[in-house]
Structure 1
Amino acid sequence: MPSENTIGSLTTTIENKIATITFGHPASNSFPRELLDRLTAEFNSLSSNQLVSVIVLQSEGSGAFCAGASFEELLAVSNESEGTHFFSGFAHLINAMRSCSKLIIGRIHGKAVGGGVGIACACDYTLATKNASIKLSELAIGIGPFVIEPAVSRKIGKTAMAEMTLAAHEWKSADWAFSKGLYANTFETIEELAVAITDFSSKLSSYNPEALTEMKKVIWEGTQEWDTLLLERAAISGRLVLSDFTKNALLQFKK
């Protein structure tokens, strides 16, 4: 049976109508496919949970918020079908966050890379620390942020998404992310962030649950085609990850 060191961890607590999901993985909170599936299932489950009005999404520790896709699993991809299957995990997760009936608050305590940026962008409201820099490094390893692009572009605009994507080795600061609308606010410390998350989620959970659900629908209007679009994008990444360029780049990154 795989250990937590390889599959990561996922826990959910529910208190005062607020569900707090915490994911973790020893490799900078990155996502192997199994952890993606577990998080997707959790959003689907909470969507119909009458005891929950608001979801807070956070990750473990005080380092990176999320390093995106598991390099170990990317290196293990041996054919196009396996590649498409892996990247479809991010497609299913973003669609689950989009279609979840509950509003999702993102607690971004540290750096986010690749798929981690996509997850932050798929949240409905996001608070972060000043250390929560972001980067879309996919082009540097021979692929691109194809699956997460719709979520990123919808949140910060196509121009800012392109700027991040083409400057694949460049970190964008939390202040930059705030100026583009990814973060609703930023805080100097994790402790200040935690207080703000508690305060905001408590206020939001006190509102009419039906109004919150209807507002969620409004926020995501016009994205119904993502059910197929993101899977089509997963196939592009699944093909590109097999290239010699990508295999070599992943080995260098791993070192």
Structure 2
Amino acid sequence: MTAPYVKEHIGSGIATIEFFHPAHNSLPGDILAKLAATITEAGENDDVKVIILKSGGDRTFCAGASFKELINIEDAETGKVFFSGFANVINSMRKCPKFIIGRIQGKTVGGGVGVASATDFCMATKYASIKLSELNVGIGPFVVGPAVERKLGLSGMSQIAIDANAFYDAEWARQKGLFAKVFDSTEELDEAVRAFAEQLCGYNPEAMREMKKVFWQGTENWDELLAERAAISGRLVLSEFTKETLKRFK
């Protein structure tokens, strides 16, 4: 696999949405836009009762923002548009009337932690350690912060946001509430995800839709909030500190 993609498979009431990028599943703007649109469409499809969100490859679930695009940002508006890509994915997951099951097979960083946090029920392997690395490059997890805080609590989110150079293991993430279950292998994870999705397909879709509203109550302002956060990140990415730091990744 070399070409980035977002693909969807629908069968037996289950929509499996998979994204991939050869750079450790980092997400450039076009992939973020397609991912948000695909989630929205699945939510509107009457043939879909539940959604599985996963990434391609064996090792990394998502490495967060595309450093290639970050390096090329030259003005605040472009920066805001780029970081809004993650905001749009999170908001599409928030507004989707179907339960979204996260399948996290490996490490996840930055924006990827936000995507995992925005799922409704998340399962992972023991290799799925997490890191919020944004402060390392002079930005901060502003856009994904509300989603991460919603799952980990303010204490857990602030801990990994400040300790930006450290990975926290899957068991820590399970204890904090991000992962519901952790498995020893990808094979066990896939079996559990599939079985759980099939179980949910037997539930009343109307009841699940109403429960999703309850679970996300209090986030109705996230369209505006995440746009404001994207503007902060878009400004900070132009700082001398961040520009100098990003040069190391060229």
What's the TM-score, normalizing by structure 1?
0.96
In the alignment, which residue of structure 2 is the partner of 1:82?
Answer: 78
In the alignment, which residue of structure 1 is the partner of 2:193?
Answer: 197
SS of 1:26's partner is coil
Question: Once superposed, what is the RMSD of the aligned Cα atoms?
Answer: 0.9
CA distance in 1, matches of 2:137, 2:192: 36
**Pairs within 5 Å for 1:1-255:** 5=3, 8-252=4-248, 254=249
Deviation per CA, 1:14-46, whole angstroms, max 9, x where unpaired? 011000001000000010000000001011111
CA distance in 1, matches of 2:142, 2:151: 15
Q: Which amino acid aligns with 1:169?
A: N
Deviation per CA, 1:214-244, whole angstroms, max 9, x where unpaired? 1111110110010100000000000000112
Q: Identity of aligned pairs, percent?
A: 53
SS of 2:48's partner is coil
Q: Which amino acid aligns with 2:186?
A: I
Provide structure 1 residue ranges, at least 5 long, that are not aligned to the other structure: none
Deviation per CA, 1:118-153, whole angstroms, max 9, x where unpaired? 000000000000000000000010000000000000
Q: Which amino acid aligns with 1:24?
A: F
- Name the count of aligned residue pairs: 249
CA distance in 1, matches of 2:138, 2:8: 35
CA distance in 2, matches of 1:26, 1:248: 25
SS of 1:65's partner is strand
Following TM superposition, where does structure 1 have runs of at least 4 consecutive aligned residues deviating by more than 3 angstroms?
none
Provide structure 2 residue ranges, at least 5 long, that are not aligned to the other structure: none
